[in-house]
Chain A
Amino acid sequence: MASHSESIIREPLITGKDITYGQITDDILRPVENMPSKAWWIGFTVASLGALLWVFSISYTFWYGIGSWGLNKTVGWAWDITGFVWWVGIGHAGTLISAVLLLFRQNWRNSINRSAEAMTIFAVICAATYIGAHMGRPWMAVYSLPLPNQYGSLWVNFNSPLIWDVFAISTYFSVSLVFWYTGLLPDMASIRDRATGLRRRIYSVASFGWTGSVKTWQRFETVSLILAGLSTPLVLSVHTIVSMDFATSLEPGWHTTIFPPYFVAGAIFSGFAMVQTLLLVTRKVLGLENYITMFHIESMNKIILVTGSVVGVAYITEFFIAYYSGGEYEQYTFLNRFIGPYWWAACMMYGCNVLMTQMMWSKKVRTNIPISWVLSIIVNIGMWFERFVIIVVSLHRDYIPSSWAMFYPTWIDVGVFVGSIGIFFTMFLLFIRVMPSVAIAEVKLLLKSASEQAKKKQIAEGHLDPSHVEFYKANLIKFDSVDQSEYEKA
């Protein structure tokens, strides 16, 4: 792909001195090929405790019924669908990074796409658990599939957005899984080649007999492109369809045509925030600073800023339309977000998603790792509240005032949600232990064109404008989180 020499005035995508192909493999496979660090063990213990909480809460729900949640006759969905939409949204960044950015030849994606895609898979799994768990009779979930049956013409209701959801989510999950695993094949082969014994046999199977021949690589590239093409519409369609769960209903606060773009923007927004949350920790713990650089962090912050602002505009539009429509019930619903009993939830939503992210206009904020990390968490909290406000705050006071009610979560509600985060991190931590968390093969492509060595070679060849070289050096300092003193010694 990027076989040409990259211009020196581009910011470096890989930093670190004297990076070689071998070193990349060593660096990235370090957590896979060695015993886990203490930090990993701590993280894994906490995450698996969370997963156990999930198992318990879900079992409790299945045993006693949905009544163990805080739902009532007025608020029929709350933490369940909030959690579902939140997780589906988070997944979106992975697909955007792996598919859309690939098509747009954004090479910087190569360092982060693997983790982001893994995150997608795990987030969609978490979302899918909610689809099953929120059903009153999950053992009858098969009814929601259009399967031939003995009832003759009894089919699913193709008018129902929930059926669209079934198709959307299952398509999304399968395509994402295939895309992710296809990308993993050369890296699995790398592990296989370096492993012995049982590990070798396992990775041998897992790499599908990857040979590394030119033909294999060529096919790999082609498949990646095709899958990227398939995934790109999914980035838009999945959350569009999720938004239709609300938009096609009659509920004031749900029945809004702006929902599809608004939801997609929100999904990418929250997804990038989650990637940021994960990678800022991962790069430190796994020592991947050379591959996930300040450039990546800032780029992602920029996307968060843009999508956050899009979401903000959507919020304002919603309010305007509610006012402009003259719809009595819709006006009340939006007013109720601020003057109703859940005013604090709306404050969390608008505050976290719009006000806080506006801080990212400042480059200092964008390039500050601790602040970025905190902001990414804030965005995720805000996006959770966005869904909570849309779902619960709309439902709790709709048309008939006699039915207005409050929703109070039970500890099972909390357990299922916190537990799903536990499940997510358990899977993610297991993932970084058994699979390369950065796409080795793709990062190596960058090395050839965008690494310091490549740039040094260009400088040595001496055809460059000295001001460009200065710019490059400045960028090295700016984006390089690696100790600059190492460079001084060189």
Chain B
Amino acid sequence: MDSKKKYWKGLEELNRTPEFVEKNKNEFAEPIPIEDVLSGDGLSAKTPRRDFLKALGFGVGAVTLAACQRVPVHKSIPYLIKPEEVTPGVANYYSSSYEGQAILVKTREGRPIKVEGNPNDLFSKGGLSAQAQASVLDLYDVNRLKDPKLKGSEAGWSEIDAFVIKELAAIKAAGKNIRLVTSSINSPSTLAVIAEFIKQYPTAKHVTYDAVSYTGIIQANQNSFGKAVIPHYNFDKADVIVSFGADFLGTWISGEEFTRQYVSNRNNKSLESKKMSRHIQFESGMSLTGTNADNRLAIKPSEEGIAIINLYNAISGTTLPGSKKLSSKAAENAITIAAKELVAAKGKALVVAGSNDVATQVLVNAINSLLGSYGTTIDLDNPSKQYAGNDAEFVEFVNELSRGDVAGVLFLNVNPAYDYFKAKEFTDALAKARLKVSFADHDDETALLSNVIAPNHHYLESWGDANAVEGYYTVIQPTINPVYNTRQAEHSLLVWAENPVKDYYTFVRNTWNESLLAKGGLSGQKGWETLLQTGMIKATPNTAGTYTFNRDLNAVAQTILTHSASIAAGDGKFELQVYQSPAIGDGKRANNPWLQELPDPVSKVTWDNFVAVSVADIKKLKLSEGDVVKVTANGYTVSLPVLAQPGQAQGTISIAVGYGRTNAGPVGDNVGKNAFPFYSFRNGTFQTTATVTAFEVTSIKAPLAQTQTHHSYEGRSVIREAKFTEYKKNPAVHSGNEKGHKNYDEESLWDVPSHDRPVYDWVMAIDLNACTGCGACVVACNAENNIPVVGKDEVRRRREMHWIRIDRYYSYEEKGESITEEYEIDKLKDDAFDNVTVVHQPMLCQHCDHAPCETVCPVLATVHSSEGLNQMAYNRCVGTRYCANNCPYKVRRFNWFNYWNDSRFDNYLNNEHTQLVLNPDVVTRFRGVMEKCSMCVQRIQAGKLKAKIEKRPLKDGEIKMACQQTCSANAIVFGNRNDPNSEVSKALKSERTYYVLEELNVQPGIGYQVKVRNAVELEA
């Protein structure tokens, strides 16, 4: 059918105007000069062929030459089928949990690169310990076992399974005992797996063993209240805290949680409402907690029990039989005052003791009962399940072993060959068992003695759950496929128990479906998915009941006094206390270089343990730091360098456990000496104190690798502190702002050009009263910013690379005066060294607006951004180090060596596998360039981009620095100064805010808030 439709291109065509008709005659609207070209000499000229050949020759030659250059081959393999959730360059976060604490795992391109706290976490609300931060590095430890081992040689899982099942069956048939030795387990699923295993092998028994044990507290609560639990402490509800050797801000039970709670009564918010808790610490060695105490009294371990008895007497008004005065008058006085304070704060008071002695803890329970702490500061109805070790059970297990009663042993997350105090007895006894299975992921000390090693997954490769506190359930989900041929221990146990459910994931799902999901009001697949997103379930907590202690204390006091008498050393002799350092803990993570290089918060020593001796004793013995001494106690001897520790009780020494591993891996092996053999077993628990039977000075010197070697702040305004009584009268006291904040720019000789900060002005506020000095920020920064580990020798040379450090200063109180200058300290009398006060100051690049580093760089490698950041252009840096010299804060770090590719720094990243832990958003630095805190510029950038994509302004608090994020104390606030309502602007407006070295008018961008002490006058 013919179409009647007519199509036209324009009105001209439709109307067929004459012009159009005329124009339309030609094919092209405008004439093309083709004729001109053809008639010219374009083709007839003589040279086109030659020119063409020349051009061709040059072209081919040039291309050939260009192709000759060898370009480096980058092996990057694109996804054949891209996983839906992985976008290169964009991080995914998975919720999981670390030792019962809810965390978020940051993964990039399928590999976990950082662990961050879950803001909804019960314990620290987003804060994480240094150990948790460092745990991600363990995943990439190339020394992990790559295959299971049978009788010392690599084997397949089927061989392992066949062997173990055959052996277990044989043992079962023979009626011999099987023991499953584990560290404290609070995972409902794991406990269910163990129950399944025991069901299959009825001669099996689960023995819980913790290298650092809390059996004392558990037993004491059993004895006092019939509840064999560790209570849940509420330091935030305590106005007066008295601690006897409990390092509750560091290593004691749940340090991160207690830090958050404790600081909530001491931070800016609390101070502004004129409220600050009082903390009195009695201890022999200087602990992290001791450094934060308002009053700290150095007492010998042998007097700790007596001090608690005296406190009880003072509070109850009775006198327990055998009570006697403390040798130190100051301590005795402090006990009286502490008692008054505690009684005055009844219901808001808390007494804790670090001792693992049952009698001591019973007495502490009695005191807390008198103070009405149960139901307020102590919660026995929602107990902590973080530790459940039973010392007596383990000792009995060793006895069984040596009697030959046990034929099969399985070790899960324990290493008694290293950390049991009678390791020799244990290893000899272990030889008598026919089946020894270790689930260790390293060839550790115990695994070496086992005939089967069934390496467990790293927790980031595992499924699982945890129930660290009654009613608080967290889930563990894998964030990467197993890297090596390992298998989850629970899976192995299920296989060996010939359980119908062999897959542990299914087992976990079943556990949650059956009982746990319901506690959070969830159910089914959807509930499970919700759980995986939130990471936790918080069941409604039980009501914390009040408990009254009503047992006879006479026998308890007698036990304490006998114990005290047994460890009391005579004049000129030492008492020994064994403690955990917050970085290394019990030594399980000894092969982690981030933790080894993390300075001990108190001594600032890295890569070693040492004998902490009081300054007075050091002088008396004419020792100097680094002199090696031989210490003998409980029949065991170690040689370690000494450290002069201010605040160490005279006549006592302290040695950290967790060192001296022999089979931890190349990083942790032979770092320091093992102090576990100093333990003893008394009254059913492990004891950490002993009498030193020999203390011998050798002529050997072993200089300690300290990151700080000058310990007093010389009266400089770098540190500003005030007493709480003064603060209450004038919040600006000692901050330098008594007459308003001084503007040093006014005194400048120059017309200062104004620097525009059009949108953002990134600054930070650090509250010295909140910072406990734990050092978690240091490790968080390591992980975030790819900071190299340099090793012991280089730390000794003062070349650690940490971008953030915690400066720790000691000062001494004498007659109400603070002694901070070196020459005055040298003149102090011996006893004055006991009255030490400590301040921690996180120090990092201050991002000065008049940065001294920027003016001196010859090549403009360090420049200021329009957002107030001092930035490093690594590629431009030629490494003159002038900037570092001119930095008054000494926060710049130079790459002395090529730490990434130098075989002398083999303890870290010199292999492709471990390099996968690097944060791809932060470039690694070559040798010869300067680096420093960048204010996590990659996070700022990511935050800004996210806001931009979502077409909204950036929200305050959206961008968090790595150091800030991990700080359980919330001591660090970061944000935009241009926004007057931002958290940081508010913090900087505090009267307590001062800037370090502000008198130089470098205009630092980090404001510090004055340290406030709520000390009681002990002399009065």
Contacts and interface: CB of A to CB of B under 8 A. Distances in A.
Contact of A401 (B716, B881, B902, B1002): B716
Nearest to B801: A73
B301 interface: no
Contact of A398 (B823, B841, B890): B890
Contact of A402 (B809, B858, B893): B809
Contact of B709 (A77, A144, A405): A405
Contacts of A156: 858-860
Interface in B867-882: 876-882
B882 A405 contact: no
A63 B794 CA distance: 18
A250 B890 contact: no
B989 interface: no
B522 to A, nearest CB: 50
B98 interface: no
Interface in B525-555: none
Contacts, number: 167
Interface stretch (B453-461, B511-519, B923-931): B923-931
Contacts of A162: 856-858, 880, 882
Q: For chain A, which range describes its interface: under 10, 10 to 19, 20 to 34, or 35 or more residues? A: 35 or more
Given A160-B856, A163-B858, A73 B895 contact: no
Given A401-B710, A404-B710, A73 B890 contact: yes
Interface in B700-717: 708-710, 712-714, 716
Given A73-B893, A76-B882, A405-B709, A250 B797 contact: no
A336 to B, nearest CB: 10
A375 B712 CA distance: 42
Contacts of A291: none
A261 interface: no
Nearest to A137: B928
Given A135-B928, A403-B890, A76 B885 contact: yes
A143 interface: yes
B792 to A, nearest CB: 14
B799 interface: yes
A36 interface: no
A120 B717 CA distance: 47
A250 B1002 contact: yes
Given A328-B716, A405-B798, A65 B928 contact: yes
B710 A136 contact: no
B516 to A, nearest CB: 48
Given A77-B881, A154-B860, A250 B709 contact: no
B852 interface: yes
A156 B861 CA distance: 9
Contacts of A6: none
A395 interface: yes
A65 B880 contact: no
B878 A65 contact: no
A116 interface: no
A66 interface: yes
A310 interface: no
A247 to B, nearest CB: 12
Contacts of A73: 798-800, 884, 890, 892-894
Contact of B930 (A64, A136, A163, A250): A136
A143 B861 CA distance: 10
B718 interface: yes
A144 B878 contact: yes
B896 A160 contact: no
Contacts of A144: 858-859, 878
A140 interface: yes
Nearest to A134: B880
A76 B858 CA distance: 15
Interface in A46-100: 64-67, 70-74, 76-77
Given A66-B928, A398-B888, A136 B881 contact: yes
B878 A143 contact: yes
A209 B895 CA distance: 53
Interface in A130-165: 134-138, 140-141, 143-144, 154-157, 159-163
A402 B708 contact: yes
B881 to A, nearest CB: 4
Counting chain B CB atoms within 10 Å of each CB, which of A157, A245, A328 scores highest? Answer: A157
Contacts of B637: none
B855 interface: yes
B877 A136 contact: yes
Contacts of B997: 399-400
Interface in B783-829: 794, 797-800, 805, 807-809, 823
B203 interface: no
A77 B885 contact: yes
Interface of A: 64-67, 70-74, 76-77, 134-138, 140-141, 143-144, 154-157, 159-163, 166, 245, 248-251, 328-329, 332, 339, 395, 397-406, 408
Given A77-B882, A136-B929, 17 more contacts: A66-B896, A72-B799, A74-B890, A76-B884, A77-B881, A135-B878, A136-B879, A137-B926, A137-B928, A140-B877, A141-B878, A144-B878, A156-B859, A161-B856, A397-B710, A402-B713, A404-B709
23 contacts: A65-B895, A66-B896, A73-B798, A74-B798, A76-B884, A77-B881, A134-B881, A135-B880, A136-B877, A154-B876, A160-B855, A162-B856, A162-B882, A249-B886, A250-B1000, A251-B885, A332-B714, A398-B888, A401-B713, A401-B718, A401-B809, A404-B709, A406-B709
Interface of B: 708-710, 712-714, 716, 718, 794, 797-800, 805, 807-809, 823, 841, 843, 852, 855-860, 876-882, 884-886, 888-890, 892-898, 902, 926-930, 996-997, 1000, 1002
